[in-house]
Amino acid sequence: MDLGILVIAAFVLVVVLAITSVRIVPQGFNVIVERLGRYQETLKPGFNVIIPVISSVRARVDMRETVVDVPEQSVITKDNAAVTADGVLYFQVVDPMKATYEVNDLQRAIQTLAMTTTRTVMGSMDLDELLSQRETINASLLRAVDEATSSWGVRVTRIELRDITPPADIVQAMARQLKAERERRAVILEADAEKESQIRIAQGRLEAAKLEAEARERLAAAEAKATRLVSEAVAQGSNQALGYFLGQKYMEALTAFATSPNQKTMILPVEMSGIAGALAGLSEIVRDATPPRPPTAAELRSQPPGPWSRPANTEPVMPPPTAQE
C-alpha cells in the first residue's frame, strides 16, 4: 500500500516538474528567466525548457511596436505665448533584458520623457515657428527621445505632435493678420495687372504709330516719285502726264470731300465743262497710253483688197518704161 502511494506521488511529481519546466513563448514576445534571483537567459518564441524550482520567469516582454499617448499639456514658447500641445509616440523594445532591469514601468517612463522633451523643444521656438515648422519639431523630438531611451533597450520609431492650439486672442489676431495679408496681396496683384495692361496698351499705340509713320513715309516717297516722273515728262515736252496727274489729284480731293462724315454740303465749280474737259483729257491720256491691239487673221481676210495688194507668192510687177527712155 505504501509502495503504491509512493509510486503515485513520484508520478505526480514528475508530471508537475515537466509542466513547470516547459515554457512555450508566443510569437512577438520574449521571456526573461531568472535563476536563484539573477538573470539567467531570454527565451525566444517557441518551445523552451527551464530548470524547475531554481529557475523562474521574471517578465514577458512585448517585442512589437507599441503606441504611447502623450497627454495634452501647456507650453510657454520663446516669445511668451501659452499654447497647448499633445502627441503620440511609437517605440519598440530591442533589448528585453535592459527594458526589464534598467527602468521601472517602461511605458510611463517613456511618456514622461516625451512630455518633458516636448516642453523643452517647443519652449525654445517662437509661436510662428511652432505653427509653420511642425516637421522640424517632430524630428527634434524623435532625435532627443530616442537618444534618451537607448539605454533602456528601446528604439523610438516615431513621435508626432497631433495638435498645437494657441490661445483664443492669438487665434483672432492671426486671423486678422491673415486677412490683411490676403487683402494686401490682392491689391498688389490688381496693381500689377493694371500696370501690365497699361504697358501693353502703350506698346500697341507705339507699334501703331510706327506703322502709320512707315505708311506715311512710303506714301510720301510714292508722291515724290510721281512728281518727279511728271516733272521729267513736262521737261521732255509732254503735257499729258501733267494733265493726268492734276486730274487724278482733283478726283481724289473730290472723293475725300464727299465721303467726309461731317460734311453735308459740297460746292462744285460753276463751269462743269471744266470737269468734263478734265475727264475727257484723262480718257485721251489713257487711250494714247494704251498700245493698239494688232488685227487678227480673220480681220485681215475680211478686209477688201487695196490697190497695192497682190496674191501670195507672186513677184511685184514693174511699170513699163516711158518713151523718154
| Chain mean pLDDT for the chain | 79
Instruction: Say what the pLDDT of residue 279 is.
Output: 54
List, for residues 7-49, the tens digit of each pLDDT value. Answer: 788 888 888 888 888 889 999 999 999 999 899 999 999 999 8
Q: For the residues 73-94, what does the mean pLDDT come to? A: 92
Query: What is the spatial distance between Cα 254 and Cα 263, in angstroms, rounded to a whole number?
Result: 12
CB atoms within 10 A of CB 237: 6
Query: What is the spatial distance between Cα 39 and Cα 35, in angstroms, rounded to a whole number?
Result: 6
Does residue 90 surpass a pLDDT of 70?
yes
List, for residues 106-133, the tens digit of each pLDDT value. Answer: 999 999 999 999 999 999 998 888 888 8
Instruction: Say what the pLDDT of residue 109 is.
Output: 94
Domain boundaries, the chain: 2-61, 66-166
Residue type, position 274, single letter: G
Burial label for 251, CB within 10 Å (0-12, 13-18, 19+), is: middle
* Helix H or strand E encompassing 39: strand 38-43
Instruction: Say what the pLDDT of residue 278 is.
Output: 54
Q: Which whole-number Å values give the CA distances from 141 to 84, 108, 115, 124, 278, in the listed order?
A: 16, 17, 10, 12, 104
Q: Where are the beta strands (DSSP E) in 166-239?
A: none
Q: For the residues 79-84, what does the mean pLDDT come to? A: 89
Does residue 141 surpass a pLDDT of 90?
yes
Could you give the maximum distance between any two Cα atoms of the chain, in Å? 205
Residue 59 grid coordinates: 517578465
Instruction: Say what the pLDDT of residue 157 is.
Output: 94
**Is the distance from CB of 103 to CB of 182 less than 8 angstroms?**
no
Per DSSP, 271 falls in state -
**Is the distance from CB of 50 to CB of 21 less than 8 angstroms?**
yes
**Is the distance from CB of 155 to CB of 83 less than 8 angstroms?**
no
Q: For the residues 85-94, what does the mean pLDDT come to? A: 94
Q: When comparing pLDDT for 172 and 249, which is higher?
A: 172
**Coil, strand or helix: which one is 46?**
strand
Q: When comparing pLDDT for 41 and 242, which is higher?
A: 41
Instruction: Say what the pLDDT of residue 317 is.
Output: 47
- Choices 3.40.710.10, 3.40.50.300, 3.30.479.30, 3.30.70.270: CATH for 66-166: 3.30.479.30
**Is the distance from CB of 67 to CB of 88 less than 8 angstroms?**
yes
